[in-house]
């Protein structure tokens, strides 16, 4: 009797869907992932992900399953738009592209070898239907084989096909094999290794070998081109080299926003990510404060990057100079002039910065040490943990200590300078 009861309970436990996973979108943590990146890709906040997964810290591990959206039943809130903010891998440039925009692949420079186009057919899968969205199982197929054939993984197939069982597929069954992945043609330069390139595009070295039959060394010669069906999002823009000796390919001009005034539009080209992250942060401030306060955006980079008058850096579309939020600001934007630290509008300023910090988008932000003190105290009051503060801000460890994303740098009493990270797929970008 007891034994029967035990079995019944066991069955119940197996049948009962876990609270968070019922119909909720799920991702599996991969190498190089961070909560901020996963949240950004899913279009939700880090806080939401932590709540859905009952996480106490930002720590995640490879292979971990994370719920990245509300389950169908509890989905009473606003609809989440799962499409990426930029149409990665589309055959045409975005329709909103200004007419003066550089072509996707600059013809004048043959070294611009990273091209992106829609991936419709892999060399090994000529039988794949155009668009490649569903696959009919043939006799003899295994799920591993199906996954391999469509450049996807078993775990992704299981996620996109509820009810699918890895060891029980049958001929005639239809499987959703996902959208085609963008194709990238990558040109090796000195120092690039097969493993590093595979890692950056979130594929395996074996995948690279499968797609490129001519590839047999671990470190291909400079100039070798390989085809990659990337699992990482790829944007058309490329930051090349370091910020003080680099350039920008297919840069995107910062779009207008009610939260800022742009001084010289021709000097505000950035990577696609830089411009999207700037807009994202100002959207966030906009959403959290009723009254709009306008700051001034000065230089980012020239259209093609390279040396920019008055600056040492600002060469590859990752640096931006922005005035501080102050108590008093005119409609032309908070001024680019010195002010007393007591006049810093710390609430808005921290909100703007926190967006980049939480999402792992800022590599460095130069802010005068006296202003850092105010930001630090405010963030602490708002519940930032010791670990977050240590990671995010140099204060109170001294202005010459190389700690924290926010750092002191001379001449940053009248504006802040944010340097964004190298975009995930910009392999020639140097931190």
Q: Which residues form the interface with Zn ion (CB under 5 A)? A: 321, 417
Q: Quick one: which of 243, 119, 107 has its CA closest to 181?
A: 119
Cα separation, 219 vs 201, in Å, equals: 16
CB of 364 to Zn ion, least distance (A): 11
CB of 336 to Zn ion, least distance (A): 11
CB of 58 to Zn ion, least distance (A): 29
Q: Between 119 and 298, name the residue whose CB sits nearer to Zn ion.
A: 298
Which residue has the CB atom at the shortest distance from Zn ion? 417
Which tokens in the block code for residue 102? Answer: 């550089």
Q: What is the DSSP track for 299-331?
A: ----TT-S--TT-SS--SS-EEEEEPPBSS-BT
The strand ranges marked E within 39-141 are 65-67, 115-117, 134-136
CB of 340 to Zn ion, least distance (A): 22
Q: Quick one: which of 380, 232, 254 has its CA closest to 317?
A: 254
Q: Quick one: which of 286, 283, 314, 287 has its CA closest to 301?
A: 314
Cα separation, 243 vs 107, in Å, equals: 24
Contacts of 428 (CB under 8 A, 6+ apart): 189, 238, 239, 240, 241
Q: Between 230 and 313, name the residue whose CB sits nearer to Zn ion.
A: 313
Q: Between 230 and 349, name the residue whose CB sits nearer to Zn ion.
A: 349
CB of 249 to Zn ion, least distance (A): 21
CB of 396 to Zn ion, least distance (A): 25
CB of 350 to Zn ion, least distance (A): 20
Contacts of 196 (CB under 8 A, 6+ apart): none
CB of 235 to Zn ion, least distance (A): 23
CB of 391 to Zn ion, least distance (A): 23
Cα separation, 89 vs 322, in Å, equals: 31
Q: Between 167 and 310, name the residue whose CB sits nearer to Zn ion.
A: 310
Q: Between 296 and 417, name the residue whose CB sits nearer to Zn ion.
A: 417
Q: Between 177 and 254, name the residue whose CB sits nearer to Zn ion.
A: 254
Cα separation, 265 vs 292, in Å, equals: 21
CB of 238 to Zn ion, least distance (A): 21
Residue with tokens 């001084």: 263
13: left (phi over 0), alpha (psi -120 to 50) or beta: alpha
Decide: 414 and 422 in contact? Cβ < 8 Å. no
Tell me the CB-side half-sphere exposure of residue 63, using CA atoms within 13 A: 0
Decide: 425 and 201 in contact? Cβ < 8 Å. yes
Q: Between 128 and 298, name the residue whose CB sits nearer to Zn ion.
A: 298
> Which residues lie across from 117 on neighbouring strands?
183
Q: Between 89 and 333, name the residue whose CB sits nearer to Zn ion.
A: 333
Q: Between 325 and 424, name the residue whose CB sits nearer to Zn ion.
A: 325
Integer-rounded Cα Rg, in Å, for the chain is 24
Q: Between 229 and 260, name the residue whose CB sits nearer to Zn ion.
A: 260
Phi, psi of 375 (to 5 degrees): -65, -40
């Amino acid at each position: 009797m007891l034994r029967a009861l035990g079995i019944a309970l066991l069955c119940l436990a197996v049948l009962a869907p876990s609270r968070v996973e019922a119909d909720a979108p799920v991702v599996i943590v991969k190498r190089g992932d961070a909560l901020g990146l996963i949240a950004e890709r899913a279009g939700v906040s880090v806080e939401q992900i932590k709540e859905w997964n009952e996480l106490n810290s930002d720590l995640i591990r490879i292979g971990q399953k994370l719920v990245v959206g509300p389950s169908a039943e509890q989905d009473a809130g606003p609809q989440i738009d799962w499409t990426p903010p930029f149409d990665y891998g589309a055959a045409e440039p975005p329709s909103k592209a200004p007419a003066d925009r550089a072509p996707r692949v600059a013809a004048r420079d043959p070294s611009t070898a990273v091209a992106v186009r829609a991936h419709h057919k892999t060399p090994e899968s000529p039988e794949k239907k155009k668009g490649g969205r569903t696959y009919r199982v043939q006799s003899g197929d295994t799920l591993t084989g199906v996954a391999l054939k469509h450049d996807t993984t078993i775990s992704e197939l299981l996620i996109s096909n509820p009810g699918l069982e890895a060891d029980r597929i049958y001929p005639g069954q239809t499987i959703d094999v996902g959208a085609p992945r963008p194709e990238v043609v990558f040109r090796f330069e000195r120092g690039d290794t097969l493993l590093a390139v595979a890692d950056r595009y979130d594929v395996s070295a074996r995948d690279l070998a499968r797609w490129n039959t001519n590839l047999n060394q671990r470190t291909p010669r400079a100039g070798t081109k390989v085809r990659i069906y990337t699992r990482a999002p790829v944007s058309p823009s490329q930051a090349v080299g370091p910020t003080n000796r680099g350039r920008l390919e297919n840069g995107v001009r910062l779009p207008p926003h009610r939260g800022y005034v742009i001084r010289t539009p021709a000097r505000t080209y950035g990577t696609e990510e830089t411009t999207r992250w700037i807009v994202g942060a100002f959207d966030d401030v906009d959403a959290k404060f009723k009254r709009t306060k306008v700051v001034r955006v000065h230089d980012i980079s020239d259209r093609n990057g390279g040396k920019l008058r008055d600056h040492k850096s600002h060469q590859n579309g990752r640096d931006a100079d922005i005035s501080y939020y102050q108590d008093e600001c005119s409609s032309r934007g908070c001024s680019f002039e010195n002010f007393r630290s007591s006049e810093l509008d710390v609430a808005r300023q921290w909100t703007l910065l926190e967006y980049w910090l939480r999402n792992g988008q800022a590599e460095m932000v130069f802010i005068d040490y006296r202003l850092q003190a105010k930001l630090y105290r405010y963030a602490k009051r708002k519940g930032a943990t010791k670990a977050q503060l240590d990671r995010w801000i140099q204060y109170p460890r001294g202005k010459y200590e190389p700690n924290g994303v926010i750092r002191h740098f001379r001449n940053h009493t009248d504006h802040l300078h944010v340097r964004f990270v190298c975009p995930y797929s910009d392999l020639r970008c140097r931190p």
